[in-house]
Amino acid sequence: MTTARITVDSDAVVAPLNRRIFGSFVEHLGRCVYDGIYEPGHPTANEDGFRLDVVDLVRELGSTTVRYPGGNFVSGFRWEDSVGPREKRPVRRDLAWHALESNQVGVDEFARWLKLTGSELMMAVNLGTRGIEAALDLLEYCNHPSGTALSDQRIANGTAEPHDIRMWCLGNEMDGPWQTGYMTADDYGKIAARTAQAMKTADKTLELVVCGSSGSMMPTFGDWERTVLEHAYDHVDYISCHAYYQERGGDLDSYLASSLDMQYFIETVVATADHVGNKLRSSKKIKLSFDEWNIWYLDEHRESDEVNDQWRYAPRQLEDVYSVADAVVLGNLLITLLRNHDRVASASLAQLVNVIAPIMTEPGGDAWRQTTFFPFSVTSRLARGTVLRPRIDVGTYATAVYGDAPLVDAVVTADDEGGAVFLVNRSRTESIEVSIDVTALGAGAIAEATTLWDEDVYARNTLEDQERVGLKPLEGASLADGVLTVTLPPVSWSAIALS
Ligand code: AHR
């Protein structure tokens, strides 16, 4: 059997765990909000119209910060439409997804929904069709306690306490030609810097995210980050990264190594941000907000006509149904985010419900977990304390896209009470026996050993078969003399908690 050795060194500290790394994303897109988190007629709906069966699954998923309201949607969003008496709210055209927006869920309802789920709001402002004034007005409406026009409007609308939103995104994917009001890096850098400066004049403790590239495949990747940061460095705290992956042309080997692209992406943005910071002789380090990441079968959606010229309410759009292989890749992407947690301080799985999501719903019916739900929920539940970067000695396999890729990837977290090891086996054919020296963690027992794998790497959970794929015990895991030994099945994601 193929073998691997992993050594955990308690000095190989990446960063203390910040739970914002387990963020997610709710956009007014398809059935994410309407017929997703919100369905007034559903048997589990509360007085606001929110489905409580979905709330339970979101809590189980363990997502933390939730980015809202877009995405591409935000670049046409007029926040004023979404507050006040519901019967007076206008219907608008959403150009991003060619849909109708009823505005029945808006800023105040969404903040209430977040309280049900125990999550933090990360708000995006519209820099596509709007600018500084609308951003400042939204900030005043949300965060000012009382005694001003907009804070009193919020109170009159039923929300006495300020929403106290800490993280704000300065627009969305402004480099993308698909974005309403997209810009050159120079133009965006200037408006982002001025908006950030104004918002921080209102509240210097805000944490602001400037748009990075929409993906590492963008022709302006790298140059965009440099130019934008040359304008905005002093005023912002994070730069965003977005990355989506999918299996292409039946090349599962390359797909299973997708996290190598995410690693390249992170290293490039960190190097670019530090280059600008060093040139400016700044002592500040810009953090990365990986605020869109997931599996997305984008090529197939582009070929479909689900985004079309009809103007519909909450059409079924971007409803990917995920396989075991997709879940393994997602687990590996999360390992990569954790391993770079010293710079990637915040991240958002895009998205949360129905739209490229770990949770699916049927109107009037069930809510269920996709395969990708499991690695995310287990990692969020078990990761604690400090992230450690383990040393991994393992062989490689050949991929068409990334060259030779390591067969196993892993990350470790630890606190005084124990630790957790998260691993993937990328081999399509081989089980791999992994010996993990965890002496440094001082652990005495295995508290939990679980894996996600299946004989059929393309098995999925569907409306008809909602529990086809789930977690299984990782058979045969043992701990003796400080060495944890596990056998990872082919194409699998696993987690071992130590106490
Ligand atoms: O998450 C789906 C879309 O992907 C978002 O609206 C956009 O920001 C990105 O292109």
Q: pLDDT at residue 1 above 90?
A: no
CB atoms within 10 A of CB 387: 24
Q: Positive or negative, the Cα torsion across 125, 126, 132, 138?
A: negative
For residue 240, the Cα-to-chain-centroid distance in whole angstroms is 11
In tens, the pLDDT along 126-135 reads 999 999 999 9
Q: What percent of the chain has pLDDT over 90?
A: 97
Domains of the chain: 2-9+388-498 (2.60.40.1180), 18-382 (3.20.20.80)
Nearest-CA residue for atom 8 of ligand 1: 71
Catalytic residue selected from 27, 80, 140, 173? 173
Ligand 1 atom with the shortest distance to the CA of 97? 6
Distance CA 68, CA 119 (A): 12
Contact 351 CB / ligand 1 (< 6 Å): yes
Lookup: tokens for 319:
């409803």
Residue 352 contacts residue 67 (beta carbons within 8 Å): no
Q: Residue 286 has what pLDDT?
A: 98
Q: Is 292 a catalytic residue?
A: yes
In tens, the pLDDT along 184-195 reads 999 999 999 999
Q: Residue 455 has what pLDDT?
A: 97
Contact 106 CB / ligand 1 (< 6 Å): no
For residue 361, the Cα-to-chain-centroid distance in whole angstroms is 20
Q: Decide: pTM greater than 0.85.
A: yes
In tens, the pLDDT along 372-400 reads 999 999 999 999 999 999 999 999 999 99
Average pLDDT over residues 400-421: 97
Q: pLDDT at residue 234 above 90?
A: yes
> Is 472 exposed, middle or buried (CB count within 10 Å of its CB: 0-12, 13-18, 19+)?
middle
Distance CA 467, CA 10 (A): 38
Ligand 1 centroid–CA 96 distance in Å is 9
Distance CA 261, CA 56 (A): 33
Question: What share of residues in the chain are helix, strand, coil (percent, to 5)?
Answer: 30, 30, 40
Q: pLDDT at residue 352 above 90?
A: yes
Q: Residue 487 has what pLDDT?
A: 98
Nearest-CA residue for atom 4 of ligand 1: 71
Contact 172 CB / ligand 1 (< 6 Å): yes
Q: pLDDT at residue 83 above 90?
A: yes
In tens, the pLDDT along 23-56 reads 999 999 999 999 999 999 999 999 999 999 999 9
pLDDT-wise least confident of 69-83, 297-311, 435-449: 297-311
Q: pLDDT at residue 305 above 90?
A: no
Ligand 1 atom with the shortest distance to the CA of 29? 6
Q: pLDDT at residue 303 above 90?
A: no
Q: Residue 267 has what pLDDT?
A: 98
Half-sphere exposure of 289 (CA within 13 A, CB side): 30
Nearest-CA residue for atom 1 of ligand 1: 350
Best residue for ligand 1 mutational test, from 66, 173, 291 (most atoms within 8 Å of Cβ): 173
* Mean of all residue pLDDT scores within the chain: 97
Q: pLDDT at residue 304 above 90?
A: no
Ligand 1 atom with the shortest distance to the CA of 294? 1
